[in-house]
């Protein structure tokens, strides 16, 4: 599961892939992303030309928010995943996508994980949401239906989350921020954008390709406060394991 980044194994073409993706996202997406995302992105001052080096990047990241990233080989099992988040460690796939996957990578890669998710780790309220969400989640992983609920909340926030800022809809979710197609999609009228409603959200199935539905928050406190409702819903339907 954990995989040490062997930096010398990236080829010049791998770094070039990073550079192409980075510049394309910076020019088109970053300008339209939420203020919290942009704030984190600007502070981190990530090198546009070279794939992030985990150890040196962690010194910068830790100094801003206490988080670190940790190399993994791919998707992390639920329990370990939430344990990492509780401990303020964000899993980052060490591989980078192939050149033919520039527009759509089937699996998360280091570009998606770092550029999509890490800047938001500098926002304290959002981090409180992630950590408390993870603590709650850890107690319900033995119920498949609860895992569906939890996966949907993760999906429609950390991956596909939208926020209203200055009367505009802006993405804070990493899967939108690292996808040209999703960015275009949120601007179209074809996709439905619901106001954030925790009950509706956890009952909306995940769609892996281009989204037909999104949920819009008004601010990050709303997200954090929704965890009380999430916990109540889970307690009513399932028996939690002891607190960890
Ligand atoms: Fe992601």
Q: The whole model's pTM is what?
A: 0.96
- Looking at residue 67, what is its pLDDT? 98
Q: Characterize the bridge pairing of strands 168-171 and 162-165.
A: antiparallel
- Rounded distance between C-alpha atoms, residue 54 and residue 112, angstroms: 14
Neighbours of 10 (CB within 10 A): 19
Q: Can you list the domains of the chain with their CATH numbers?
A: 7-237 (1.10.800.10)
Helix (H, G, I), strand (E, B) or coil at 216: strand
- Rounded distance between C-alpha atoms, residue 49 and residue 112, angstroms: 15
pLDDT at residue 30 is higher than 80: no
Mean pLDDT calculated for residue range 123-137: 98
Q: Using the mean position of ligand 1's atoms as its centre, give its distance from the Cα of residue 110 in Å.
A: 10
Q: Using the mean position of ligand 1's atoms as its centre, give its distance from the Cα of residue 174 in Å.
A: 6
Q: Using the mean position of ligand 1's atoms as its centre, give its distance from the Cα of residue 91 in Å.
A: 10
Q: Using the mean position of ligand 1's atoms as its centre, give its distance from the Cα of residue 153 in Å.
A: 13
- Rounded distance between C-alpha atoms, residue 47 and residue 21, angstroms: 12
* Residue length of the chain: 244
- Looking at residue 244, what is its pLDDT? 64
Q: Using the mean position of ligand 1's atoms as its centre, give its distance from the Cα of residue 208 in Å.
A: 12
- Rounded distance between C-alpha atoms, residue 157 and residue 175, angstroms: 10
pLDDT at residue 52 is higher than 70: yes
Q: Using the mean position of ligand 1's atoms as its centre, give its distance from the Cα of residue 129 in Å.
A: 16
Helix (H, G, I), strand (E, B) or coil at 93: strand
Structure confidence at residue 105 as a pLDDT band (50, 70, 90): confident
And the tokens for 7?
């930096």
Mean pLDDT calculated for residue range 220-234: 98
Helix (H, G, I), strand (E, B) or coil at 165: strand
Neighbours of ion ligand 1 (CB under 5 A): 174
- Rounded distance between C-alpha atoms, residue 184 and residue 162, angstroms: 13
What is the per-residue pLDDT across 55-100, written as a single tens digit (0 to 9) for each?
A: 999 999 999 999 999 999 988 999 999 999 999 999 999 999 999 9
């Amino acid at each position: 599961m954990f995989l040490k980044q062997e930096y010398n194994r990236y080829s010049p073409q791998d770094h070039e892939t990073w550079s192409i993706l980075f510049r394309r996202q910076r020019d088109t997406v970053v300008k339209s992303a939420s203020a919290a995302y942009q704030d984190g992105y600007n502070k981190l001052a990530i090198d546009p030309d070279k794939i992030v080096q985990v150890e040196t990047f962690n010194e910068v990241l830790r100094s801003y928010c206490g988080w670190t990233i940790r190399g993994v080989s791919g998707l992390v099992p639920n329990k370990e995943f939430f344990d990492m988040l509780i401990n303020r460690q964000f899993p980052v796939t060490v591989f980078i996508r192939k050149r033919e996957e520039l527009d759509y990578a089937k699996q998360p890669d280091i570009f998606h994980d770092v550029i999509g998710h890490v800047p938001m780790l500098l926002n304290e309220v959002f981090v409180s949401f992630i950590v408390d969400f993870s603590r709650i989640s850890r107690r319900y992983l033995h119920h498949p239906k609860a895992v569906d609920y939890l996966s949907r909340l993760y999906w429609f926030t950390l991956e596909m989350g939208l926020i209203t800022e200055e009367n505009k809809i802006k993405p804070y979710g990493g899967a939108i921020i690292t996808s040209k197609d999703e960015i275009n999609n949120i601007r179209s009228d074809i996709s439905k954008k619901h106001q954030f409603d925790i009950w509706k959200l956890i009952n909306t199935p995940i769609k892996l390709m281009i989204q037909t539905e999104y949920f819009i928050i008004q601010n990050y406190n709303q997200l954090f406060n929704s965890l009380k409702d999430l916990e109540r819903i889970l307690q009513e339907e399932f028996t939690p394991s002891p607190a960890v």
